[in-house]
Amino acid sequence: MKLYKLMLLSFLLLGVSCKNDKNKSEETEPVAQAETEALPEMSVFQLPSSWTTQEGEDIQLEELRGEVLVMVMIYTSCQAACPRLVADMRNIQKKVSEEANEKTKYVFVSIDPEVDTPKRLKTFAKENKMNNDQWLFLRGNKDATREFAAVLAVNYKRISPMDFSHSNIISVFDKDGVLVHQKEGLGTDDSKTIEAIEEHAID
């Protein structure tokens, strides 16, 4: 009988300790900036995944709260569309006002986490003269990348060891991580994108 109770107890404890852990991790999650308000339902910061930057730092997306995010998914070994996407990002950054740029981060998310190590992302950043803290390069695990793409409605598929096929979409998120604008296609008109950034960056 004792044993039975013991087992029951250990089960209960197990359950309780799991619960505790969960609560703890929720409590200790970093609260970015001075904004302690709950995240909007559609916030991309709801994603639990963690990412590594080109500097080798591990971050949660929520740490980016408080800045407008302009995001695109690429892979560094890409020869065709990605340089165009990179150019599109650079053009947008140039056209956005200085005031808005102070509150904006331009983020590249790799769809090829196996190849795109932080070191490689860093090199890519340097080559493209995007080597300051306005530009962020992120790499997650395969699962997190697939999930992130699902949020962005970016489709991608590895079509050879070297190449991916992917949709070309630049997304703008407001300071709470809510998607507010998407630009589809390469070299397309970016005036709406710039408008969206200006509108959400300057309070």
* Largest Cα–Cα separation, the chain: 75
Q: Is 164 in the site for other proteins (CB under 8 A)?
A: yes
Between 162 and 202, name the residue whose CB sits nearer to other proteins: 162
Q: Are 106 and 173 in contact (CB under 8 A)?
A: no
Q: In whole angstroms, what is the distance from residue 4 CA to residue 7 CA?
A: 5
Burial of 76 (0-12, 13-18, 19+ CB in 10 A): buried
Q: Of 10, 20, 23, 188, which lies in the binding site for other proteins, with binding defined by CB under 8 A?
A: 188
Q: Could you tell me which stretch among 97-105, 118-126, 128-136, 158-166 binds other proteins (CB under 8 A)?
A: 158-166
Q: In whole angstroms, what is the distance from residue 180 CA to residue 23 CA?
A: 31
The backbone region for 104, taken as left when phi is positive above 0, alpha when psi lies in -120 to 50, beta otherwise, is beta
Q: Is 87 in the site for other proteins (CB under 8 A)?
A: no
Site string for other proteins, 28-57 (x = CB under 8 A): -------------xxxx-xx----------
- List interacting residues with other proteins (CB under 8 A): 1-4, 7, 18, 21-22, 41-44, 46-47, 78-82, 84, 146-147, 149-151, 153-157, 159-160, 163-169, 184-188
